[in-house]
A and B are shown apart, each in its own frame.
Chain A
Amino acid sequence: MSTMDTAAPGVHEEHHGPASGIGRWLFTTNHKDIGTLYLWFSLLMFLIGGVMALLIRSELFQPGLQLVEPGFFNQLTTMHGLIMVFGAVMPAFVGLANWMVPLMIGAPDMALPRMNNWSFWILPFAFAILVSTLFMDGGAPNFGWTFYAPLSTTYAPPSVTYFIFAIHIMGASSIMGAINIIATILNLRAPGMTMMKLPLFVWTWLITAFLLIAVMPVLAGVVTMMLMDIHFGTSFFNAAGGGDPVLFQHVFWFFGHPEVYIMILPAFGIVSQILPTFSRKKLFGYASMVYATASIAILSFLVWAHHMFTVGLPLVGELFFMFATMLIAVPTGVKVFNWVATMYRGSLTFETPMLFAIAFVVLFTIGGFSGLMLAIAPVDFQYHDTYFVVAHFHYVLVPGAIFSIMAGVYYWLPKWTGHALNEGMGKLHFWCSFIGVNITFFPMHFLGLAGMPRRIPDYALQFADFNMVATVGAFIFGFSQLLFVWNVIHCIRSRETVSAQVWEGAHGLEWEVPSPAPYHTHTTPPRVE
């Protein structure tokens, strides 16, 4: 818990070191403490969501119903999705931003430290409410993480109201976090740190924060409309009252599509930090990376209906959303090419963060290819709502977003703790995860193409073999995450110290402060040449 205590000489002086006891964590306004809180919280959620995933995979190990009732199965898929998206991936990125953005731009802290505390501390309440719905009469939300009306309104269990409240709190937390990041990056850069000198992680987070501010209110709007339909007699999504169930999907995906980029742009940033370090070479095409990120963000507002190709859009609508979606392949391709060019003719070493970053590039690209296939509307009719889609988004989220988070943690953990990683165990974790993730999700492409719909607790016999394989993979992947927990704890408790630069090829302000990073850094702004 008190990894930074030793670094600060005057522990009892309010402005020089952390407070002691639980109060340090409850009342902290320190970006490093809050980053740590976010990261531990996200790890906890990742493990809870992971247990749900393993329950789902266990039920799907064989055809027939073995472990859970169909109704509870739907609660599991819903909660797994919500917890992983809002509880694991997003808070992990916010945690990394809290730790690293001020260190990278030479700021003493986040611009709005008290709000920073608040935006973290409402999250545990939101998730306590969400998870408590599992124990309520009628069960937890069971309508999928996309909560399409009217299944989530007229036909929803009573706990839907708690779900709506939880989403509101999560949204408020994200918006406050995003405002803080924007304010920090725009106002607290060290002298000489011009925008086009910002590390890519900072750039991608700046753009992500704008996306969050733009779409979290849309999410709040759509759940409020649900609340109105359920309790106050409106009919936004009820055709019998003049509403339209498809309106729900338009509003949801106007939030939802930028949301998927919220979960991947910071990952691009992390990988763009790690690849140059271990290639001992500057990032290739820095400016085009920034422009590509911005293009992806802008396009993300114009493609939402590609999630809705089968709802009965008119031909012109289908064509527009198909073309716009295909266009996203261009800036995404630029990014992948730049990463490969960064590695090309470098001097590569393969420490744990680098392994995760390389796996990210390969496996995210595979997810990108299936994404391109899904963009083609006429063939999407065959892929839509099948395991092909499940394979696609898990490829971009697990070996995509999650691998990038792990890469980032392994990359920066020595800076945070001042201790070296156990490379052997890190590599073991990597290889188990890499093999597990592919055994889990690659066969799902085949399942989807063969015709298996998603979100079903039981399936026809021709899907049995690949489901069994996927379940075996899921257990390999799931249990290898215990190695990650071990690695993090081991690094915190290790006695082996590291230099300020930590990694031979690392450059940037964050590598100029001592390791472990003192409780207060950059109290006098550094000069960037």
Chain B
Amino acid sequence: MGTIRTIIFGLSLTLLSLSAHAEWALNLSPGVTEVSRSVYDLHMTIFWICVAIGVVVFGVMFWSIFHHRKSRGAEAHHFHEHTLVEVAWTIVPLGILIAMAVPATATLVKMYDPSEADLDVQITGYQWKWRYTYLDQDLDFFSNLTTPQEQIGNEQAKGEHYLLEVDRHLVLPTDTKIRLLLTANDVIHSWWVPALAVKKDAVPGFINEAWTRIDEPGIYRGQCAELCGKDHGFMPIVVEAVPPEQFQQWLAEVKAEKQAEVAAAEKSWTLDELMTQGEQVYLRACAACHQPTGTGIPPAFPALKGSPVALGDVGTHIDIVLNGSPATAMQAFRDQLSATELAAVITYERNAWGNSTGEAVSPSQIAGILAGNADTAGEGAQ
């Protein structure tokens, strides 16, 4: 018995010293919602039940290993069944399972609470970014990874939020019931923010529902949890929870910015201005597939450098960028980028890496096409 005590003591000491290092995160976080806290409690309850069962089972086993070894002169006892014991270790675990199922069911029912929400946000997964649409608010934007390629390629020191940082946060009010409606544009994604204990698949063609009510203001980070192709590891989620008044203020600011963007499309842009902005847009929205050098990763992601699309008819080029190319990984960018950004990036693609058409596509031209709400630029490529 002395040996076993020493071992258990040693093990618990090791565990304690491990948990003393905060950077070695060992466990779920309790999170910042009522649901996430009950999930955490449930997780810990079941963990400790498993530990208790483990101590008993492994205890008996190691007892046998130490005491019933032949080298110690142990003689085998010839019993090989015992109805009462066998019935007991069938019934008792069943009881333990029922005891686990009760709180589990309660938590699950709480997660499926169908009552009305105060704010509805549609979340759409794209390869490899998230789109957030605030329903009834006329607000809609994409959220892209901002970690620079140089950090990923180990040419630069990695920042504090390496791979967990995006250009636009999903801003949500605290103390408000928020309904999340999830869908996807291409393949299945899964929207997961551990601090909210929300993980729900975004399935193309279907809408899933989840909800949350955040108690504490703060920034909560998560990631796509369903393998969705090449850059599955590079489409993080950042939720910024702010008090409701601040949320209203933020809404007003964002809407004002949007107005300014529309105005910008109406001014006239020089080729150089478009090229400068186009490069930024390209690196953010296009380079993951078509590569910063425009050489692509054929055959899935064709090269733009010297490509017939980038050098040929501008109408076709605009059509593909705006509406995507069916049955390929090429997405429709008409909703993802503003008219100015679209014009800039198309101009950039037609004039970068030795593509020298000298043609500039003006933001107002794109704005016109978008306003016409039809793919007037293409020859009906659909």
Contacts and interface: CB of A to CB of B under 8 A. Distances in A.
Interface of A: 63-66, 70-71, 74, 137-138, 142-144, 148, 150-151, 154-155, 157-158, 238-240, 244-246, 279-288, 310-312, 315, 318-319, 322-323, 326-327, 329-330, 333-334, 336-337, 340-350, 358, 361-362, 365-366, 369, 372-373, 376-379, 381-382, 384-386, 446, 449-451, 453-462, 465-466
Contacts of B340: none
Interface string B7-27: 000000000000000011111
20 contacts: A64-B154, A70-B231, A71-B300, A151-B188, A280-B70, A281-B77, A281-B80, A287-B81, A326-B97, A341-B82, A344-B68, A346-B76, A348-B64, A349-B71, A378-B42, A379-B39, A446-B27, A455-B227, A460-B161, A466-B24
Interface of B: 23-29, 38-39, 42-43, 46-47, 50, 53-54, 57-58, 60-61, 63-65, 68-71, 74-82, 85-86, 89-90, 93-94, 97, 100-101, 104-105, 107-109, 111-112, 127, 151-154, 158, 160-164, 182, 186-188, 190, 192, 194, 197-201, 203-206, 208-209, 221-234, 297, 299-300, 327, 329
Given A348-B65, A450-B25, 7 more contacts: A70-B233, A151-B188, A286-B81, A329-B93, A373-B47, A453-B232, A457-B233
Contacts of B23: 462, 465
A456 B152 CA distance: 13
A329 B98 CA distance: 12
A244 B203 CA distance: 9
Contact of A65 (B58, B80, B152): B152
A312 B61 contact: no
Given A345-B68, A381-B199, A330 B50 contact: no
Given A64-B158, A71-B297, A337-B89, A345 B108 contact: no
A376 B104 contact: yes
B79 to A, nearest CB: 8
Contacts of B24: 446, 465-466
A349 B77 contact: no
Q: Which of A64, A138, A239, A454 has the most CB of B within 10 A?
A: A64
| Shortest beta-carbon contacts, A-B, top 5 | A239-B205, A456-B233, A450-B25, A312-B208, A282-B80
Given A148-B226, A346-B74, A460-B162, A382 B205 contact: no
B46 A376 contact: yes
A369 B199 CA distance: 22
Contacts of B200: 310, 312
A350 B72 CA distance: 13
B202 to A, nearest CB: 10
Contacts of B85: 341
B93 A245 contact: no
A346 B300 contact: no
A491 to B, nearest CB: 24
Nearest to A143: B227
B308 to A, nearest CB: 20
A173 B225 CA distance: 34
Given A239-B204, A460-B163, A446 B54 contact: no
Given A315-B112, A365-B54, A310 B89 contact: no
Scoring A148, A310, A366, A457 by chain B CB atoms within 10 A of each residue's CB, the highest score goes to A310
Given A150-B204, A348-B65, A446-B24, A334 B160 contact: no
Nearest to B63: A344
B227 A245 contact: no
Contacts of A66: 154
A453 to B, nearest CB: 5
A462 B223 CA distance: 14
A246 B226 CA distance: 13
Given A334-B86, A344-B64, A349-B71, A246 B152 contact: no
Contacts of B160: 461
B190 to A, nearest CB: 6
A74 B227 contact: yes
User: Max chain A CB contacts within 10 Å: which of B71, B111, B229?
Assistant: B229
A361 B64 CA distance: 14
A279 B163 CA distance: 53
A419 B288 CA distance: 58
